[in-house]
Amino acid sequence: MVDGVRCWIIRGGTSKGVYLKESDLPRDPAERDARILAIFGSPDRRQIDGLGGADPLTSKVCIVGPPPEAHPGCHLSYTFGQVEIDEPYVDYHSLCGNLTAGVAAFAIWENMVRPTEPMTEVRIYNTNLDAVLIAEVPVAGGRPLEKGDYAIPGVPGRGAKITLNLAGTAGKSAGGLLPTGNAVDRLEVRGFGGIDASLLDVGNAHVFIRAADVGLKGSETAAEIDADRGLADLLERIRGAAAAAMGMVETAEEAKARTPATPILGMIAPPQDYRNVLGGGVVRAEETDLTARLMFMQQMHKTYAGTSTVCTGVAAKIPGTIVHAAARQGIEDRLETRIGHPAGVIETESVVVPEGNGYRVERATVGRTARRIMEGYVFPPDRAA
Whole-number Å distance between alpha carbons of 186 and 183? 10
**d(C-alpha 36, C-alpha 174), whole Å:** 27
Cα(151)–Cα(369) distance, integer angstroms: 8
List pLDDT tens digits, range 284-310.
Answer: 999 999 999 999 888 899 889 999 999
Evaluate if residue 271 carries a pLDDT over 50. yes
- Residue 297's pLDDT is 86
Q: What is the per-residue pLDDT for 153? A: 82
306-316 and 97-109 helices, crossing angle to 10°: 120
Residue 366, amino acid: V
Q: Judge whether residue 1 has pLDDT over 80.
A: no
What is the spatial distance between Cα 378 and Cα 357, in angstroms, rounded to a whole number? 51
| CA 305 to chain centroid | 4
- What global pTM score does this model have? 0.86
pLDDT of residue 154: 81
pLDDT at 188: 97
Alpha-carbon torsion angle 237, 243, 247, 251, nearest 10: -20
Q: What average pLDDT score do residues 245-264 get?
A: 93
What pLDDT does residue 65 have? 96
| Structural domains present in the chain | 5-161+370-384 (3.10.310.10), 185-363 (3.10.310.10)
Q: CA 39 to CA 8: how far, in whole Å?
A: 12
CB neighbours of residue 334 within 10 Å: 15
Q: What average pLDDT score do residues 103-107 get?
A: 97
Residue 168: burial class (beta carbons within 10 Å; 0-12, 13-18, 19+): buried
The average pLDDT across 247-256 equals 94
Q: Could you give the CA distance from residue 218 to residue 261 in angstroms, rounded to a whole number? A: 21
Distances (CA, A) of 28 to 2, 22, 130: 17, 11, 20
CA distance 44 to 370: 28
Beta bridge partners of 372: 10
Question: Once rounded to an integer, what is the mean pLDDT over residues 360-373?
Answer: 96
**In DSSP terms, which residues pair with 134 in a beta bridge?**
123, 165
Single-letter amino acid, residue 213: D
Measured at the CA of 341, the angle between CA 338 and CA 347, to 5 degrees, comes to: 25
Pinpoint the alpha helices (H) of the chain: 29-40, 97-109, 222-227, 229-245, 255-258, 306-316, 322-326
Residue 10 in contact with residue 53, Cβ under 8 Å? Answer: no
How far is residue 77 from each of residues 114, 139, 183, measured CA to CA in Å?
16, 21, 33
- Check residue 332 and report its DSSP letter: G
Mean pLDDT in residue range 261-281: 92
pLDDT over 50 (residue 384) = no
pLDDT of residue 385: 43
User: In the predicted model, what is the mean pLDDT of the chain?
Assistant: 94
**Distance in angstroms (rounded) separating the CA atoms of residues 187 and 185:** 6
Q: Has residue 3 got a pLDDT over 90?
A: no
Supply the pLDDT for residue 39.
Answer: 97
With contact defined as beta carbons under 8 Å apart, do 339 and 304 qualify? Answer: yes
Sorting pLDDT into bands at 50, 70 and 90, what band is 231? Answer: very high
In the predicted model, what is the mean pLDDT of residues 278-289? 92
Q: List the one residue out of 38, 142, 131 whose CA is nearest residue 90.
A: 38
pLDDT exceeds cutoff 80 at 2: no
Residue 224 DSSP class: H
- Tell me the residue length of the chain: 385
The answer to whether residues 80 and 60 touch, using CB atoms and an 8 Å cutoff, is yes
Is a pLDDT exceeding 60 seen at residue 184?
yes
Give the tens place of pLDDT for each residue, 120-139: 999 999 999 999 999 999 99
| 17 bridge partner residues | 10, 60
